[in-house]
Amino acid sequence: MDLHSLPFTIADLRRLYLDNAVSVEEVMEEALRRAARSVAHPHVWIRLLTSGEVARYVAALDPARKGELPLYGIPFAIKDNIDLAHIPTTCACPAFAYTPEKSATVVELLIAAGAIPIGKTNLDQFATGLVGVRTPYGACQSVFDARYVSGGSSSGSGVAVAAGMVAFALGTDTAGSGRVPAAFNNIVGLKPSKGIFSTTGLYPACRALDCISVFSATCADAETVMRVAARFDETDAYSRELTDLKLPEKCRVGIPCPEHLHFFGDEQAAELYAQAVARIEELGCQRVDINFEPFAKAAALLYAGPWVAERRAALGDFMTKSAAEMDPTVRGIVEKADGMTAVQAFEGAYALQALAAAAAREWKKMDVMLLPTTGTTYTIEQLRAEPVKYNTNLGYYTNFVNLLDLSAVAVPAGFRSTNGLPFGVTLMAPAFGDASLLALGDRLHRALAPKVGSPSVGIDLAKQPSPVGPIAESSASAAAGSGTISVAVVGAHLEGQPLNHQLTSKGGKLLGLTRTSPRYRLYALANTRPAKPGLRRMDDPVEPAAPGAEPGIEVEVWTLPLAAFGAFMLEVGPPLGIGSLELADGTWVKGFICEPAALDGAEDITEFGGWRNFLRAAAEAKG
């Protein structure tokens, strides 16, 4: 295999590992090669790990668990305000650096799930900015045009994913730092609900608002990381349990009235946003016009209000003693807090509460909100000339999200024809809408921008899996017991069949044998190894081939721990997928579905009533 052209996505690497097509050592060597030799992007890394340091993580992996660990052998990057044990955390300020003995909680969870850190990435100093130029380590650049900003503050993390150096990266998002780099580099950015990722081991910007975020090529990859990293942490006073808020299948999508939409002279961005709105309506969602004013006013509070004092509180004595060591723009922003009073803090809290109440009235009209991630983009030269003004423009659609306790997913949404730069949109929902947003965001991403990352990376979204979505939607999960999900299998995953180990190795337990509803036909697929069947749901019930035969197709129902379900999903390759399957008793569970194109030329074996009966008959026919 040509490792130089190997796509770095979680799903692709998982399949290659399970097929024994590559080794972890080979993938890590390639990841370090890409990171170290990136002439086009020289400012991504503040501290790249050595091959020896990476080798220690590789040595700790148990190859016997590669089917069990959802992130086995997956290279990832860490923004340098998040701790990695024994590696300095600088927050892009060398005079501030410290070396932690322990990794951040989220980093520990990812490593325990098999992921391997490659290095610490560049950022706007102390995570203050949306641009990626406020750093002594050199400004990161858009992967599409070196003259333009990469977005920040998680600049290095966004570029590391977009340039194909790692499969995913951790950023942070207080004001939009997990979304703006995604938009400027044609990748996905998950800004999770506050508290579902522990912030223990994150050096804070605004502790009450901070979120650790995820950059990835696809929404499915982001979901895999989320299912690993979202754990309640008693050491974090702001930690919250992840729950799946299921949004309606046909969402009401809030769109700001025209007078509240600002693109700062970027007409092509306005056109691309209009196309995204039209496309989400084509996907079955209902557009509703909303009053965006309370959201915009809340956004203004983040830097114009007393929340800037949280940034000052985080820096404590360091700023008192070493302000001269700070980036001048960052210092100027944070210094404003020194003149603020407790009275102003309460006034700001009251103002935010009033705006939150006004925003809640708008949420009664909609299930999700679709916004431009940013209204425009800027060159590095422009940002250095007007660092505060243009940064403020970039935060118009992002700064309010954590103040109003929302979840958000940024996805690519096409390219400007004039300069080839990417444009992005963000889907937002109330807290805990993360999984639903990833599922909807994936559909919109595929419709708007099916190529991921920089032009040289070449990840085709059509060849990548989709997210599972809210796990709570399975009606059989409760019957199977707390913390599990039921999965119906019909072919090679049946007990005794060649892929059954993919269930048993992850703690899968057989609940029992049953049948689908009568609305399914079964096909033997061509050119699959091992041989596999495909199910097709019909509009009308299918009559059994023999009088008195049971209707429906025989299936086994298994339970899997929720924590293992994402890893199981990653092992399901095309043309099969996991969707919802109706059983004979009318309940719905997760189960195997098949791409319609794969049924062309496949043999209809419905008359056998199940895969085992077909295999038995085929063996008898051979004598």
pLDDT tens-digit series, residues 426-438: 999 999 999 999 9
Residues 436, 482: one domain? no
- Whether 478 maps to a domain, the answer reads yes
Q: Is residue 334 part of a domain?
A: no
Q: Is residue 141's pLDDT more than 90?
A: yes
pLDDT at 585 over 80: no
* Last residue within a domain, chosen from 401, 429, 461: 461
End-to-end CA distance of the chain: 40
pLDDT at 18: 83
415 forms beta bridges with 422
351 Cα distance to chain centroid: 32
Start-end of H helices in 140-288:
155-162, 180-185, 219-229, 267-282
Inform me whether the pLDDT recorded for 511 exceeds 90: no
- From 154, 177, 216, 407, active-site residue: 177
- Which CATH number is 562's domain given? 3.10.490.10
How sure is the predictor about 481, in pLDDT bands with cuts at 50, 70 and 90?
Answer: very low
Tell me, yes or no, whether 277 lies in a domain: no
Cα-based distances in Å from 440 to 250, 415, 446 = 10, 20, 10
364 is catalytic: no
User: What's the number of domains the chain is made of?
Assistant: 2
Q: Is residue 599 included in any domain, yes or no?
A: yes
**Same domain, residue pair 64 and 139:** yes
Of 461, 483, 516, the domain-final residue: 461
**Across the chain, what does the average pLDDT equal?**
92
Q: Is there a contact between 341 and 238 (Cβ–Cβ < 8 Å)? A: no
Instruction: Verify that 491 and 606 share a domain, yes or no.
Output: yes
Q: Looking at 207-297, which runs of residues are DSSP E strands?
A: 212-216, 252-256, 286-290
What pLDDT band is residue 570 in, cutting at 50, 70 and 90? confident
Residue 104 and residue 183 in one domain: yes
Q: Where are the alpha helices (DSSP H) in 449-582?
A: 477-480, 501-504, 562-570
Per-residue pLDDT, 478: 36
Judged against a pLDDT cut of 70, whether residue 602 lies above it is answered with yes
**Amino acid making up residue 558:** W
| Single-letter amino acid code for the residue at 537 | R
- pLDDT band for position 509 (50/70/90)? confident
Q: Check residue 250 and give its pLDDT.
A: 83
- pLDDT for the residue 551: 84
How are beta strands 116-121 and 75-79 bridged, if at all? Answer: parallel
Give φ, ψ of 361 to 5 degrees.
-65, -35
Evaluate whether residue 294 is within a structural domain.
Answer: no
417 inside domain: yes
Last residue of a domain, one of 461, 488, 515: 461
What is the Cα–Cα distance from 182 to 178, expressed in whole angstroms?
Answer: 7
Per-residue pLDDT band at 477 (split at 50, 70, 90): very low
336 is catalytic: no
- Range of lowest pLDDT (178-182, 211-215, 478-482, 567-571): 478-482
Can you give the pLDDT at residue 473? 37
Closest CA to 348 of 312, 303, 316: 303
Catalytic residue among 79, 191, 194, 532: 79
Residue 101 lies in a domain: yes
484 and 442 assigned to the same domain: no
Q: What is the pLDDT of residue 468?
A: 67
Say whether pLDDT at 268 is over 90.
yes
**Does the pTM of the predicted model rise above 0.75?**
yes
Residue 480's pLDDT band, with cuts at 50, 70 and 90, is very low
Look at residues 188, 134, 111, 195 and name the one whose alpha carbon lies nearest to residue 157: 188
Token digits of residue 49: 């790990």
Query: Are 481 and 438 members of one domain?
Result: no
- Measured over the CA atoms of residue 613, residue 614, residue 620 and residue 621, the dihedral's sign is positive
Tell how far CA 37 is from the center of its chain.
Answer: 27
| Residues 378 and 409 both lie in one domain | yes
Between CA 176 and CA 396 the distance in angstroms is 10
Domain that holds residue 486: 474-621
CA distance linking residue 125 with residue 205, whole number of Å? 10
State whether 456 and 500 are in the same domain: no
What's the CATH number where 190 sits? 3.90.1300.10
Contact by Cβ (8 Å): 364, 164: no
For residue 482, pLDDT beyond 50: no
Q: How far apart are CA 516 and CA 519, in angstroms?
A: 8
Over residues 28-34, mean pLDDT: 96
pLDDT above 70 as % of the chain: 96
User: 64 and 106 share a domain?
Assistant: yes
Q: Are 15 and 153 contained in the same domain? A: yes
pLDDT of residue 582: 86
Q: Could you say which of 103, 153, 436, 486 is catalytic?
A: 153
Do 418 and 496 lie in one domain? The reply is no
Our answer to whether residue 120 is catalytic in this structure is no
Domain presence at residue 287: no
Residue 467 has pLDDT above 90, yes or no: no
Are 438 and 492 contained in the same domain? Answer: no
